[in-house]
Structure 1
């Protein structure tokens, strides 16, 4: 190995450095322009990559902010569903019912309205799918009902509501879907 050889470099990768006297001005200019264009291209690619990274990071931070409470929201939705079930299990208003029963019913209905309004202010929405077309992204078919009263693939009854957090599904609605009746023989 001679003194001028560097053991850490590959001779094939080293640029050939011709003396300036051997290159014409046009050739030197073309070489410098090519190097400039390559550096500009590399710089533009790096700028684009940084812009993509900034946008991706911003999106991830926003998603983390919007959906950090997803597990908590899922649990709270279960409480809202149970409160709704409790209210629907109460007997309907009747003449001559005890005043305390009416006040309890009114109180629980007020609590439920307030609770749902609080959830909505925090990005948790509910949707009653009854009468809408079945959407597998929002609904879970629990049963099918043969009927001529409703078009096929229409939600006839909702056992539970669909719940979303900032547009992302928390809990699908459990529904009964209409289907065309089988042909009678």
Structure 2
């Protein structure tokens, strides 16, 4: 090459070099965009995984708490039946009377004490009894066994409870069996 060849470069060679530089820049920009897109996708997947794990922790915590609160539900249902039978036995005793045998009074008092203690033990363990007499009928807590025409109570009011409503930590164990007031039929 001559001195003039060195000082004067070929315009075609310069164009090739310029295009190669643009391709390198474009390729770097494309690669950067691809890396940024991959980063965004990974971040999105990570955020979704974190949300799923938070939901799983919450759901698991709720399930463990429910299992703890209601693990004895079947047992509590059976024990409530015993409490109801004890109450039935007490109500079937003859009423207190003058001159009754001392042993009868002591037995009645003893059974009443046992029933109070038994119900208190149930309540300390989350089993609650609710007497629905006088309350409005609630199909979530009460089972209507009959209707009674009356003017003494508004329609839909419970006039008699055959059994009490029982709940375990707010969940219904056994509905109350009740008689509900209804308006008297008009006389013809």
2:144 alignment partner, SS class: strand
Of residues 162, 166, 169, the one that matches 1:166 is: 169
Q: Alpha-carbon deviation of 1:181?
A: 1.6
Within a 5 Å distance, the mapping from 1:111-126 to structure 2 comes to 111-126=114-129
Of residues 85, 104, 107, the one that matches 2:107 is: 104
Give the TM-score normalised by structure 1. Answer: 0.85
CA distance in 2 between counterparts of 1:171 and 1:105 reads 27
Please tell me whether residue 47 in structure 1 is matched to residue 50 in structure 2.
yes
Render the CA deviation track for 1:10-53: whole Å, top value 9, x for unaligned. Answer: xxxxxxxxxx8373444333322222111111101100101111
Bigger helix share:
2
Within a 5 Å distance, the mapping from 1:2-13 to structure 2 comes to none
CA distance in 2 between counterparts of 1:58 and 1:71 reads 22
What's the Cα RMSD here? 1.4
Residue 80 of structure 1 aligns with which residue? 83
Render the CA deviation track for 1:106-140: whole Å, top value 9, x for unaligned. Answer: 10000000000000011110000011110101000
CA distance in 2 between counterparts of 1:33 and 1:150 reads 74
Please tell me whether residue 154 in structure 1 is matched to residue 157 in structure 2.
yes
Structure 1 alignment gaps of length 5 or more: 1-19
Over alpha carbons, which structure has the higher Rg?
A: 2
Q: Alpha-carbon deviation of 1:64?
A: 1.0
Number of equivalenced pairs: 166
Of residues 16, 32, 41, the one that matches 2:35 is: 32
Greater shift in the superposed pair: 35-44 or 135-144: 35-44
Structure 2 alignment gaps of length 5 or more: 1-22
CA distance in 2 between counterparts of 1:23 and 1:148 reads 91
